[in-house]
Structure 1
Amino acid sequence: ETVARSSDATVTAMDHLFRRKRVGLLKPLLSLSLVFASFLMIHKLRLSEKDAFGVKHLRAAGWCGSECFSFKKEVGKTSLGSSESPAPRKEPDTQRVSNRTATWDAQVLNCSEDASVRTQDWFRRLDPRFHQFVLHRHCRYFPMLINHPEKCADGEVHLLMVVKSVIEQHDRREAVRKTWGREQTVDGKTIKTLFLLGSPNIGKDTKNLQKLIEYEDLIYKDILQWDFMDTFFNLTLKEVNFLKWFDIYCPGVRFIFKGDDDVFVNTHNLLELIGFKVEERKEADLFVGDTISKAIPIRNRQSKYYIPKELYDKPYPPYVGGGGFLMSSPLARRLFVVSEDLELYPIDDVFLGMCLQKLHLSPELHPGFRTFGITRRRVSSMNSEPCFYKNLIVVHKLSAQELLKMWSVVHGGDLVCAQRFSI
């Protein structure tokens, strides 16, 4: 019996020792697996670079991106898109046809601050939070980290869904892909989707975030990324860089829906609206959304949209809420032309209104676009009523979970609404 107990104790001790060794071996095995997976992903990304799916370069920290100012100049590449200090601006010729280049040409960036601005009295009085924006306002086009020139190349695209997002909002992009941003063909009309991103902000886990977004794009192939920091003031850079990209790569697109990654879009109603405009032959100047007229700059320093008098001191032109709007392809190309003759403005919605004003156009107000929610009272039960979502086109603002849930209810087949459901 004593021998048996001793044997059992020995077996137990050996089993315990074996388990400890197995756990000890598990960590290095997992680490090796992660290293191997990272190597494979990097290898695939490098292969894709050879097919012009991204520009890799050496970068140093600075205003334009998380690591952005000093680049290797590629042999044989032009730098037409590099942002040198601009020549004095002339009045734009709004009838001018855009000068389409074959590829994205902003490969090398030499974007130091405009030191002459520092000597001006108005700059000394300017709120310090706007200093970097003003000093680098001439920096307009940036190298691409992720590009998909093939997105619009396969025949005619009836509707291109373009979604502003940031790297960390992976759950929002997933929700959009499963709902209104799903690439599909409806009655012979092709719908494609793209997400617009900048670079991670300085101070975040930049390298890992970048690897994650590259891996996400490897799966979905629907991300455009530029090398400027993804900040609120840089949202206008997404507008101008996308307009240039669109002018180069999308000759066969007819309409563009542009919106945020936290909106609900009723795709069926959006296509119906496009159909009505085509029937009425009003698509050439089509720019429709939740129009804001007679607005003035907000002077409250606590507001996200605060603008000091030194930066802008007159009423805004009519513009649409950036949560979601629809425009035609011809108008997008004309907006690209006039945008190049305008100084960048830190609020992207207003900047597009300025571009429209240069074209002597006003955006069309449509009640189906609710970029401030169904009602501005956030606590109102109307904001969660599915029958409104069934009859509207765009509703802002929903979390990823709310979007998935509302999409399921609206398209589930069990929803019964009155024939006329008004707000």
Structure 2
Amino acid sequence: MDHLFRRKRVGLLKPLLSLSLVCASFLMIHKLRLAEKDGLGLKRARDADWCGSECFSFKKRVVKSGAGSSDPPLVRQSDAQRVSNGTPASWDAQVLNCSEDASVRTQDWFRRLDPRFHQFVLHRHCRYFPMLINHPEKCTDGDVHLLMVVKSVIEQHDRREAVRKTWGNEETVDGKKIKTLFLLGSPATGKDTKNLQKLIEYEDRIYGDILQWDFMDTFFNLTLKEVNFLKWFGIYCSGVRFIFKGDDDVFVNTRNLLELIDFTVEERREADAFVGDTISKAIPIRNRQSKYYIPKELYDKPYPPYVGGGGFLMSSALARRLFVVSQGQELYPIDDVFLGMCLQKLRLAPQTHPGFRTFGITRRRVSPMNNEPCFYKSLIVVHKLSAPELLRMWSVVHNGALVCAQRTSVWSPGSNQLERPKGHTN
């Protein structure tokens, strides 16, 4: 069960690991205190509502929430209507209680399955988990036009900080309100769980933009972030118009993203909007050394069309439908493929837009095009950048002295795709 649940620590950490963690903790606390002194996010901090790790026990979780969370959050539709649609009025997974499906062990295919997938398969029925940090108030402060949802892990503080200073900055653009949330699980086995948890609670005290669930933050559990967020969204943020979902190492041109949203609304494509860097006719990777390796016993047919998980846009209307269909879809260890499976159940295909480059502007990392700011100015999403690279590129792209050729992006007649921006090709 080590890929889903936190184990009790046994013995003492090795001295070198302890020293490294202590140093890292002091460095992160120092950065967070500087941010707090500078007033970044202080308006979200509520000392009266703050509680530390003592609020959390293994069997029952007391959730740390944002302002006003001691009372039920304001909602735009009645609780009765939500319940009738299969969505609870509040987060109802409060107790960590999910044992393995022992019957699977008797299956011949399971005995042949690569051992690294055993725990995933044994606990694949475990879907919704208690929340360690919640912000039910995030979408109640007026109408939110766009919700930026970012997948991250506790240790990636620098990436979250860079996102907050760039495309994840909560602001209002041309009257359209943008909010940001980071999705996290809990530290994996072998890490300094207690100290890392305290650090993330302290970070959330400053910024108020973290959702955290009580499952281990591992690669196979990225799909849990998808299904738990879809449920959370239906409860607390269903009035939001659009959702951008992405990683914490991408560059997002916010204004270009808002223009795409405007165009989608004007063309009345909002109901089925799911736009990104589409991957079609893909098959499972059988190379055991690959991060994306899938054994035949787990899946043995071509993938449905799906978008790269580095960044994509979907409408609120489609997110609610995805939640419903996801409940009947067996969990899959690759999160973006899982969403493609859910879309297939809805008989929908993701829409391709050339502005989403989830493999970089060009897959050759040494190419000078990957560092050309005019590409970033004309695109919507570019993957993959380090925190310093993101900050530097954001500064250059938003420098008024930068002059680039004008580009346009429109829906091509009779197609469900968008034309490539004029002026540049790969």
- Of all paired residues, the percent bearing the same amino acid is 82
Q: Quote the residue 2:49 is aligned against.
A: 48
| Equivalent-residue separation in structure 2 for 1:155 and 1:97 (angstroms) | 25
CA–CA distance in 2 between the matches of 1:260 and 1:353? Answer: 17
Instruction: Write the distance in 2 (CA, Å) between the matches of 1:169 and 1:255.
Output: 26
Which residue matches 2:172?
A: 185
Give the aligned partner of residue 351 of structure 1.
338
Q: Distance in 2 between matches of 1:72 and 1:310?
A: 36
Residue 49 of structure 2 aligns with an amino acid whose one-letter code is S
Question: Which residue does 1:27 correspond to in 2?
Answer: none
Name 1:78's counterpart in structure 2: none
Trace 1:165-176 onto structure 2 (pairs within 5 A): 165-176=152-163
- 1:199 positional shift: 0.2
1:315 matched residue in structure 2: 302
Aligned to 1:220: 207
> Which protein has the larger Cα radius of gyration, Structure 1 or Structure 2?
1
Q: Distance in 1 between matches of 2:230 and 2:55?
A: 22
Q: Is contact 2:61–2:132 with CA below 8 Å preserved after alignment?
A: no
Do the aligned partners of 1:56 and 1:145 also contact (CA within 8 Å) in 2?
no
Q: Does residue 199 of structure 1 match 2:186?
A: yes
Do 2:53 and 2:198's aligned partners in 1 also have CA atoms closer than 8 Å?
no
Distance 2:91 2:196 in 1: 24
Q: Does residue 235 of the first structure (1) align with residue 235 of the second (2)?
A: no
Which residue of 148, 159, 176 corresponds with 1:161? 148
Whether 1:303 and 2:290 are equivalent positions in the alignment is yes
> What's the secondary structure of 1:284's corresponding residue?
helix
Q: 1:73 to 1:410 in 2, by over 3 A?
A: closer
| Mapped contact 2:53–2:197 kept (Cα < 8 A) | no
- Amino acid corresponding to residue 162 of structure 1 in structure 2: V
Tell me which residue corresponds to 1:101.
88
Match of residue 391, structure 2, among 378, 389, 404: 404
Tell me if the contact between 1:55 and 1:107 (Cα under 8 Å) persists in the aligned partners: no
- Cα-to-partner distance string for 1:292-331 (whole Å, 9 max, x where unaligned): 0000000000000000000000000000000000000010
Instruction: Report the alpha carbon displacement of residue 153 of structure 1 after superposing the two structures with TM.
Output: 1.0
Counterparts of 2:256 and 2:141 in 1: how far apart (Å)? 25
Q: Is the CA contact 2:356–2:381 (under 8 Å) kept in the aligned structure 1?
A: yes
Distance 1:386-1:46 versus aligned 2 partners, 3 A rule = closer
Computed over aligned residues only, the root mean square deviation of the Cα atoms, in angstroms, reads: 2.2
Q: 1:97 and 1:381, CA in 2 relative to 1: closer, same or farther beyond 3 A?
A: farther
Give the SS at the match of 1:395. Answer: strand
1:97 deviates by: 7.5
Tell me the CA shift for residue 56 of structure 1. Answer: 3.9
SS at match of 1:185: strand
Q: Which residue of 1 aligns with 2:68?
A: none
Shift of 1:422: 1.2
Taking a change above 3 Å as real, the CA distance of residues 373 and 223 of structure 1, as seen in their structure-2 partners, is same
Distance 1:326 1:233, change over 3 A: same
CA contact (8 A) 1:291 1:319 kept: yes
Amino acid at match of 1:283: E
1:355 and 1:166 mapped to 2: Cα distance?
25
SS at match of 1:233: helix
Aligned to 2:377, what secondary structure does the other structure show? helix
| Separation (CA, whole Å) in 2 of partners of 1:347 and 1:56 | 32
Q: Tell me which residue corresponds to 1:22.
A: none
Q: How does 1:216-365 map to 2 (within 5 A)?
A: 216-365=203-352
Summarize the alignment of residues 376-395 of structure 1 with structure 2, pairs less than 5 Å apart.
376-395=363-382
Partner of 1:422: 424
User: How far does residue 58 in structure 1 lie from its aligned partner after superposition?
Assistant: 2.0
Quickly say closer, same or farther: Cα 1:351–1:72, change in 2 above 3 A: closer
Q: Secondary structure at the match of 2:100?
A: coil
Residue 287 to residue 297, structure 1, CA distance change in 2 (3 Å): same
| CA-CA distance at 1:109 after TM superposition | 2.4
Distance (Å, rounded) in 1 between the aligned partners of 2:62 and 2:212: 19
CA contact (8 A) 2:55 2:62 kept: no
2:270 match: secondary structure:
coil
The amino acid across from 1:48 in the alignment is D
Aligned residues: 350
Aligned equivalents of 2:114, 2:354: Cα separation in 1: 37
The separation in 2 between residues aligned to 1:189 and 1:54, in whole angstroms, is: 36
Shift of 1:418: 2.0
Query: Residue in 1 aligned with 2:57?
Result: 58
Gaps of 5+ in 1: 1-29, 38-43, 60-69, 75-95
Give unpaired runs (5+ residues) of structure 2.
1-25, 34-44, 64-82, 408-422
Partners of 2:53 and 2:49 lie apart in 1 by: 8
In structure 2, what residue type is equivalent to 1:179? T
Letter in 1 for 2:424: S
SS at match of 2:219: coil
Shift of 1:406: 0.2
Asked if structure 1 preserves the Cα contact closer than 8 Å seen for 2:124 and 2:330, the reply is: yes
Report the Cα distance in structure 2 between the residues aligned to 1:295 and 1:135, rounded to whole angstroms: 26
Q: For residue 253 of structure 2, what is the amino acid of its counterpart?
A: N
Contact 1:55 1:144 in 2 (8 A): no
SS in 2 for 1:245: helix
CA offset at residue 55 of structure 1? 10
2:271–2:315 Cα contact (<8 Å) kept: yes
- Distance in 1 (CA, whole Å) between partners of 2:61 and 2:238 is 31
AA matched with 1:183: E
Could you say if the C-alpha distance between residues 317 and 378 of structure 1 is closer, same or farther in structure 2, counting changes exceeding 3 Å?
same
Once the two structures are TM-superposed, the CA of residue 45 in structure 1 deviates from its matched residue by 8.5
Residue 202 of structure 1, CA deviation:
1.1
SS in 2 for 1:157: coil
Partner of 1:117: 104
Post-superposition shift, 1:49? Answer: 6.3
Distance 1:407 1:267, change over 3 A: same
Q: Is the 8 A contact 2:322 2:342 kept in 1?
A: yes
